[in-house]
Amino acid sequence: MFFVTLEEAAKNGDLAMVKWLCEVRGEQSSYASVLAASEGHLDVLKWLRGNVFNPSPSASMDDAAANGHLDVLKWLQTNAGYATTAAMNKAAGNGHFAIVKWLHQTRKEGCTAVAMDLAAANGHLEIVQWLHGVRRGECTKAAMDEAAANGHLTVVQYLHQSRKEGCSTRAMDGAATNGHLSVVQWLHQHRKEGCTKAAMDGAARSNHLALLEWLQKNRKEGCTSAAMNLAAQNGHLTVVQWLHAHRKEGCSSNAMDHAAANGHLDVVQWLHKNRKEGCTSSAMDGAAGGNHLHVVQWLHRNRTEGCTKAAMDNAAARGYLKVVQWLLVNRTEGCTGAAMDGAAEGGHFEVLLFLHNERSEGCTSKAFVNATTADELTILQWLFEHYSKEFGRDPLQLYAFDKFYTLRWLKDKAKVESATQARR
């Protein structure tokens, strides 16, 4: 527990807290030095180096380079620090040109093809040019693939003109998925790799209708049923309608199932009226688990698939009392012990009480463990009072029992101290 606190203090640059944890609490953590270096807290790094554990030199230097902390790098350089190729790779990928050049001039580790790949992916053209010209560096097809996917057309053009690695179909697929029409058009005109069905599928998923229209007109790869499924899942009704009108791949029951789970009632209604694939019980289960009561009610009135016990179980676990109450009144599937178990873990006491009063499934021993893990003292106490017969003697349940009384002791102690202070 205190290791985490020390590491967080180092990460946040809180030198006073770091000193207190180490000097008063006696805590130590070599990783704290790495975090201090990574976040650029040189004063914390110096103190930890001199008073507790030495930093992990390579991890400290690599992470400091990745985040652009030149002062930390220089200090580590003169204090037995060392780096790996990850230092320049990460610095290049994150656009820290000054760090890249400093490492080149000062260190011997160099970099790998990952440096140019990452720099290209993130649009750092100047670094890509420098790595190519000064270091005579290497890259892979991933450089152009990722640059295209992220919309960095100037980087794509430079790699095309200056490098021989080329790209793969992932370049156009990724650019289409992310909505970079100008990149897709350039690749179509200047490269021969083309794309796959993933281009149109991805464009549909991400709601890029203009790209879908362009691909439909200029490419022959087409799409799969995943296009409409994913568009429906994400609530892109216009795209769903366009695919229905212009493509023949259709969709599966996943379209309505996932649209319902994500609360897209307009998509669900359109699919119900215009498509024949329908849905499964997963539609209502998912809608209930997502707190989309209006979707649950519509499915109940207009579809026959119904739901399973997972509907109430999931709604209870996430604290959606109104959904649980509606399902109890209007559906017959009921729930399992997982409903109360999940409500206990989530701290949803109102749901727990409702299920206790209205249902007979009860809970399992997992409820005790779940409530303990979540530090839900009130719920844990209530469970012991009402479901003691479910409490066993396996290690996890004994841990719950022990922690319950520890938490109750702390709570009672706090009340006594508060009352004592109030009387003073």
CATH assignment of the domain containing 141 = 1.25.40.20
DSSP string across 297-335:
HHHHHH-S----HHHHHHHHHTT-HHHHHHHHHH-S---
In a domain, 8, yes or no: no
Q: Are 193 and 172 in contact (CB under 8 A)?
A: yes
Residue at 76 is within a domain: no
More confident site: 188 or 360:
188
User: Is position 312 within any domain?
Assistant: no
In a domain, 332, yes or no: yes
Residue 412 lies in a domain: yes
* Last residue within a domain, chosen from 223, 255, 275: 223
Distance CA 324, CA 326 (A): 6
Considering the chain, what percentage of its residues have pLDDT values greater than 90?
75
Q: Give the phi and the psi of residue 181 in degrees, each rounded to 5.
A: -65, -40
- Asked, for residue 196, whether it belongs to a domain, the answer is yes
Q: Which of 46-50, 99-103, 373-377 is predicted with the least confidence, judged by mean pLDDT?
A: 373-377
pLDDT of residue 292: 99
The two three-digit tokens of residue 205, written as one number:
């998923």
pTM of the model: 0.86
Q: Which of 202, 223, 244 is the last residue of a domain?
A: 223
Q: What is the extent of the structural domain holding 361?
A: 318-424
- Residue 50: enclosing H or E segment and its boundaries? helix 42-51
Number of domains forming the structure of the chain: 2
Residue 278 confidence class, pLDDT cut points 50, 70, 90: very high
Q: Is residue 289 part of a domain?
A: no
Q: Which of 180, 202, 223 is the last residue of a domain?
A: 223
Residue 386 has what pLDDT?
A: 87
pLDDT at 365: 80
Average predicted confidence (pLDDT) for the chain: 91
In a domain, 268, yes or no: no
